[in-house]
Amino acid sequence: MNGWKEHKWGEIATLEYGKGLANYQNDNGKYPVFGTNGKIGTSDIFLNSNPGIIIGRKGAYRGVHYSTTPFYVIDTAFYLKPKINDLDIKYAYYQLLTKDINSMDSGSAIPSTSREDFYDLNIYLPPFKEQKLIAETLTGLDDKIDLLQRQNKTLEQLAETLFRQWFAEEASEDWEEGKVIDLFVLQRGFDLPSQNRVEGKYPVITASGANGFHNEYKVKAPGVTTGRSGLLGEVFYIDTDFWALNTSLFIVEYKLATPLFAYFFLKSLDLASLNGGSAVPTLNRNDVHDLETQLPPKELMQNFENIAFTFFEKIKSNNTQIKTLTQLRDSLLPKLMSGEVRVKN
C-alpha cells in the first residue's frame, strides 16, 4: 500500500439528505430518481448535477448505488458529496461496496444509516491516478456484465415480438378452439425445507424465481414455471434441470405446445387475475387449464420454437459469461480496495 493514505470518510466526504419528490414513478423524465434500494423512477429535475453515489438511509436493506448521470435522491437516501478534489467518485463507489452499510443503524424505530458511524469508517486512499486505474478496471468488468444483460433482454424481446406477431396479430380464425389443457399440463411443485436450499448444483425455483440450490432435481430442462402461492403472475423459463418448489406450478407435460411457446403463452395471460386465495394469493392450476384459447397449428409452434431457441441459446451463453465475470469482479474488488492487488498503467 505504498503511497496510500489513511483517512476517515468524514474527512473526505459528506452524506447529503435527499428531498421529497412527487410523481417520479410515472414520470418519463430525463434524470433517474433513487431511493434507499436503487432507482425508483425518473424526473425532469436533478438534485445532484454530476454522476455520483447514492446510499440508502432508511429501511431494513440499504444499498449503495451509482448513477452515471445527474440524478435526484428522495428522502429515504443520502448522496455522497466529496470534500476533497483528489477523490475519484467511481473509486469511492467501489470502496463503499466493501462496507456493511446496513450495520450503521442509528437506533431509531426504523433501521436507518448512521452518518456518524459512516464518517468514522477508515478508508485507505491511493494516489488519484491509481484510484482512476482501479475504478476503470472494475468498471470495465461491470460494463461488460451490463452489456450482456442488456443483450439478453433484447434477445428475449425479439422472441416475444415474434410470438405476438405469429400467434396474436396474425392469428387465424380457422384455428381450432380449445383450452389451455390441450396445450400443456401444469403441476404443483415439490416441498423442500429452506435449510436444504443452501447448496447444490440445481437451482430451486419459487414463485419469484430462483432461490437457492439443491443437490437433486425434480424437473428436466427446459422447464417453464409460474407462481402458485404468494406472488402470482411471474413466468420463468429454466434452461437447466431444476427443483420446482411447492410455491410454484411447472409444466409437467407438453401436449401440442413446445416449451418456449408455452413460456410466452403463459406470459401473455393475466395470471394474477385468477387469484383464488384470500389471505395468501393462490393460483389453481385447473383455473388455468380451463381457459379457452385458440390452438395454433403444431408445425407453426415448432417453427417458432426453432427460431426462439437460437435466441435463448445465446442468452444461456451470455449468462455463463456473466457468471464468470461476476465471480472475477467479486474476487478482485476486495483485493484492489485493500492494495493486495495493484493496477499498473
Mean pLDDT on 192-197: 89
* The pLDDT value given to residue 22: 86
Q: Residue 345 above 70 pLDDT?
A: no
Which CATH number applies to 7-106: 3.90.220.20, 2.40.110.10, 3.40.640.10, 3.40.50.261? Answer: 3.90.220.20
Q: What pLDDT, on the 0 to 100 scale, is given for residue 59?
A: 85
Residues of the chain with CATH 3.90.220.20: 7-106, 176-295
pLDDT tens across 228-242, in order?
999 999 999 999 999
What homologous superfamily is domain 176-295 in, according to CATH? DNA methylase specificity domains (3.90.220.20)
**Which pLDDT does position 105 carry in this prediction?**
80
Q: Are the CB atoms for 152 and 319 separated by under 8 Å?
A: yes
What mean pLDDT is predicted for residues 250-276? Answer: 97
The CA–CA distances, whole Å, from 107 to 71, 102, 103, 114, 115 equal 29, 12, 10, 8, 12
Mean pLDDT of the region 43-47: 94
User: What per-residue string of b and e applies to 308-332 under the rule 16 or more CB within 10 Å gives b?
Assistant: bbebbeebeebeeebeebeeebeeb
Q: What percent of the chain has pLDDT over 70?
A: 99
Residue in the structure block whose three cell numbers are 430462483? 210
Is the pLDDT score of 311 beyond 70?
Answer: yes
Q: What is the pLDDT of residues 73-112, one digit of tens each?
A: 999 999 999 999 999 999 999 999 999 888 888 777 788 8
Query: 261: closest CA among 221, 306, 310, 207?
Result: 306
Output the average pLDDT for the chain: 94
Q: What is the pLDDT of residues 149-186, one digit of tens each?
A: 999 999 999 999 999 999 999 999 999 999 999 999 99
- Percentage, residues of the chain above pLDDT 90: 86
Query: Please, which residues bridge with residue 54 across strands?
Result: 65, 79
User: Is 274's pLDDT higher than 70?
Assistant: yes
Alpha carbons 5 and 10: distance in angstroms, whole number: 14
Say whether pLDDT at 325 is over 80: yes
